[in-house]
Structure 1
Amino acid sequence: MQVVSTNTTRLCSSKSVVSINGKVPGPTLYAREGDNVLVRVHNHVPNNITIHWHGVRQLRTGWSDGPAYVTQCPIQSGQSFLYNFTLTGQRGTLLWHAHISWLRATVYGAIVILPKKGVPYPFPKPDGEKVIVLGYSLQVASGKTYLLRIVNAAVNDELFLKIAGHKLTVVETDAAYTKPFTTDTIFLGPGQTTNALLTADQTAGKYTIAVSPFMDTVVPVDNVTAVGFLRYKGIQPFSPPHLTATPPINATAVTAAFASGLRSLNSPNYPAAVPQTVDHSLLFAIGVGVNPCPTCVNGTKTVADINNVSFVLPTVALLQAHYFKLQGIFTDDFPANPPSPYNYTGNPPANLQTTNGTKVYRLGFNETVEVVLQGTSLIAPESHPIHLHGFNFFVVGKGLGNFDKGKDPSSFNLVDPVERNTMSVPTAGWTAIRFRADNPGKTM
């Protein structure tokens, strides 16, 4: 991969951006389950760069995960770095992207993990496959079925996707197979991927592909619908398209219906290994707080927090502290529960606690963990995207309002919950996940 500057044009305006191999999005990485992957990244721009392989489990290869100053030093201008990891127990579609500053906005692409040779898909073999990084045009043939590998590479936006006149059958999310689920609307959070089958079963023509944002609170967003086209072979490019209506921007019910329809495949070949017992039960309240900021206009700034703690970069690099065994940089005092009382649904707390170190919650190898993530602030963005590096997890429960530990666990799905590496916690709602701590050296 060559990190270079390239000119790109959007809406009649051109500017220079950082890219991979001069393309936005960058190249699609193709591999098979079980392959050892070697990717050398050469940095030819003034900016530091790292690459995160979003969703790859990185079993004992955490140094190839990509977060700058956490698992690796950034690749400086004129330097290169070799990423080396094995794709273990995963097949489907994932995302790669820059993991430093805001370079993720232009440095990103898809990862396609094919099954091992000779191993079929657990669904009818499609006639073709298309990678969609939400910016596209598709050409199809009547009567054929296509596997669409859909990637949300947006930095912050949750998105709806619809194709006029066509249904989509979801068969995989975040490189984990699902029970076939048919819908007319796909919903993806930042970094999420979805594989869906599309059959070209409509009258030959040109059909609108619409991507629109989801936002169900008062935070302003760029409410723009991006449009592409599904074009049947033989149809003229300038034929008038069939249009589709996008969901309302605050269509919470649509997002809830999509989430509730997702289930792990849970077949003999692909069982859902949902932890039935829990060694550690954690409650993380996720919200927005206010910190002093002498250089800001109002003297304060909003910051994200978990359990009323917001991370502040330490003055000593994390890798430096680990290598030289420096004390006081890593601390084990991260609270397993939010402070009490905690205002789940009101205004953000003032004078938010911060830390100049890295607070961690340490787990034993192969212990099982349940985390309930509680959304807290009504003025926060529509939801809180959560990505767990190095692990997949099962989404065993979800609801609105405050989590009730005496009642809500009885509704958990411990049979076939969807398996993901990224998900969203609803505003003033909660999501419960379970996973096994089987990847030494990784932290949440």
Structure 2
Amino acid sequence: MKFVSVLMLFGLLLCQAWADTNQYDFIIQETPYTRLCSTKNILTVNGQFPGPTIYARKGDTVIVNVQNQGDYNITLHWHGLRQPRNPWSDGPEYITQCPIQPGTNFTYNLLFSEEEGTIWWHAHSDWDRATVHGAIIIHPQENSSFPFPTPYKEIPIILGEWWKSNVSQILADALRTGGAPNSSDAFTINGQPGDLYPCSSSSTFTAQVEYNQTYLLRIINAAVNNEIFFAIAGHPLTVVGTDASYTKPYSTDFIMITPGQTFDALLLTNATNGSLFYIAASSYGSATAVRYDTTTTTAILQYNNSTETPILPALPKFNDTASATEFVAGLRSLASDVDVPQAVDERMTIAVSVNLLTCDPGKTCGGANGDRFAASLNNLSFVPPTTDILEAYYKNISLVYGTGFPADPPAKFNYTGDNLPGYLLFPRRATEVRVVEYNTSLEIVFQGTNVLAAENHPMHIHGYSFYVVGRGFGNFDEEKDPLSYNLVDPPIENTVGVPKSGWAAIRFRATNPGVWFIHCHVDAHTSWGMDTVIIVKNGEGSNEGMLPPPSYMPPC
């Protein structure tokens, strides 16, 4: 097995730009950055925002040594990496490891197996991923090729958010008051807000391109709390992959990308109506009565040294659910990649809700009705433990978690109805997980609810990619809706958008033993408890059990 790791800056990158070293350092540190007319210290990796890009080939192993020279505990997660039998390097804080404390280090062992395309890495502690994140680009194995003509060059595009204030303080204030966190002050493309914000035009990211060439855009939504519309003026895109899995070529004028998702898209530079075009992104916000950052970030696609005024693309309106739905409906896997379970051994329905918790007696909190905002899955608002669940499971430590996460909502109701009864607002708080036997063919239906605020929820499962076999609006009908499932060429994803007031059905086979986090990738919702854990038990074969833990796991 080959060992590969690389440190790269953003820009136009040749397809063969990787090095043959087997280990390198990620140094977590505070770095002063200037954005939106002000300077503040942010948490970075190796002083870069966004952080270094990791390059690998399918099947490689990458070793990353993380040195925490910052002032906060931190962990890193390799989003979309299956990590077969190796949850020890998955990274979510207090789920598979205790945090890397200031002044200490931890080495992650990244096992690349089925992935090919674009995924990413990010901090998985508090909201540190706002500035601690970067791309992971996985090329085909040697003597293999893309399932499309080899592009001329590649352009990583990381979409993010920027706050003028300290992100850790924004989260702390929201958790203290029980209110909604402040929305971001800007969106970014490769760390830069773009020309439409004050004090930003001099540093706007520019992609220099040549006429009549095909470029591969590797698009990542690293935003903390926002789904995003993305487009390039005067240039349709051809989607060829999502979440490190290839898709049938799909032409579109825009992309809707949820937090955590990635898209690979081909760009043909054949414009005839100019030589300077805006790359633009803005939020898709589906909930009503919720504050969104409705600003637009821009980068520039430039054919030559022209100084003409760039053209802006026509992005959908921020609440255009119809456009978001239309885009998602067009995604299909390559038939050669598909092995959808045609029958299932176990079905789960998980109700996804934004909720409230009762404010402490004598206090007024910042959530609706003077209570605290919360969130839940199947009416359980997840309470993070103080000992990580993986260690507790492996060492059989009691009282860290329970195994009572239900396979169905404990109370059935009209999930997407109006004027729902008030008792549904208040979930139970607990640290409950779901245990699954090895090799179980599993179907999960994520059912959105209108309990407090109906919204599109990007649900992410660690350790697995899955087939998105169905989506719809309203309440899932277990008799009728499976009849319209796509069991031929559904998209393979690791983060699925559950439609506002609707549902999404996924299928996968539980062949990766370990402890794996399930959560909404809107960090505000994760902080409120829209999380759970799936524990997949060891199988009976010699290669069907978790790998042993490294001797240097961080202590709690």
Whether TM exceeds 0.5 here: the answer is yes
Matches within 5 A, 1:37-186: 37-134=62-159, 135=189, 136-186=205-255
Q: Which amino acid aligns with 1:364?
A: E
Is 1:13 the counterpart of 2:21? The answer is no
What residue is the counterpart of 2:55 in the other structure? 30
Matches within 5 A, 1:250-265: 250-265=319-334
What residue is the counterpart of 2:477 in the other structure? 404
CA distance, structure 1, for counterparts of residue 452 and residue 486 of structure 2: 30
Provide the TM-score with structure 2 as the length reference.
Answer: 0.76
Residues 361, 386 of structure 1: CA spacing in aligned structure 2 closer, same or farther, 3 A cutoff?
Answer: same
SS at match of 2:515: coil
What residue is the counterpart of 2:488 in the other structure? 415
What residue is the counterpart of 2:365 in the other structure? 297
Residues 320, 411 of structure 1: CA spacing in aligned structure 2 closer, same or farther, 3 A cutoff?
Answer: closer
CA distance, structure 2, for counterparts of residue 263 and residue 275 of structure 1: 16
1:13-66 deviations in Å (ceiling 9; x for gaps): 110010001111001001111111100000101101110000000101101000
Residues 317, 260 of structure 1: CA spacing in aligned structure 2 closer, same or farther, 3 A cutoff?
Answer: closer
Q: Which amino acid aligns with 2:354?
A: V
Contact 1:395/1:433, CA 8 A, preserved across alignment: yes
Contact 1:160/1:186, CA 8 A, preserved across alignment: yes
What residue is the counterpart of 1:220 in the other structure? 291
Provide the TM-score with structure 1 as the length reference.
Answer: 0.95
Q: Which amino acid aligns with 2:41?
A: S
Contact 1:208/1:244, CA 8 A, preserved across alignment: yes
Residues 127, 316 of structure 1: CA spacing in aligned structure 2 closer, same or farther, 3 A cutoff?
Answer: closer
CA distance, structure 1, for counterparts of residue 134 and residue 265 of structure 2: 18
Residues 442, 322 of structure 1: CA spacing in aligned structure 2 closer, same or farther, 3 A cutoff?
Answer: closer
Question: Sequence identity of aligned pairs in percent?
Answer: 48
Is 1:281 the counterpart of 2:281? The answer is no
1:311-364 deviations in Å (ceiling 9; x for gaps): 112355535633652323332221111123334134462332111xx3122111
1:179-221 deviations in Å (ceiling 9; x for gaps): 0000010110001000000000112510111101101221120
2:466 to 393, 397, 403: 393
Q: Which amino acid aligns with 2:327?
A: F
CA distance, structure 2, for counterparts of residue 381 and residue 161 of structure 1: 23
Is 1:313 the counterpart of 2:384? The answer is yes
Contact 1:217/1:379, CA 8 A, preserved across alignment: no
Contact 1:384/1:427, CA 8 A, preserved across alignment: yes
**Higher alpha-carbon deviation: 59-68 or 329-338:** 329-338
Q: Unpaired runs of 5+ in structure 1?
A: none
Contact 1:380/1:427, CA 8 A, preserved across alignment: no
Q: Unpaired runs of 5+ in structure 2?
A: 1-25, 160-188, 190-204, 517-533, 535-556
SS at match of 2:355: strand
Contact 2:425/2:452, CA 8 A, preserved across alignment: no
Q: Which amino acid aligns with 2:483?
A: S
Larger proportion of helix:
2
Is 1:372 the counterpart of 2:445? The answer is yes
SS at match of 2:280: strand
Residues 120, 321 of structure 1: CA spacing in aligned structure 2 closer, same or farther, 3 A cutoff?
Answer: closer
SS at match of 1:258: helix
CA distance, structure 1, for counterparts of residue 386 and residue 212 of structure 2: 60
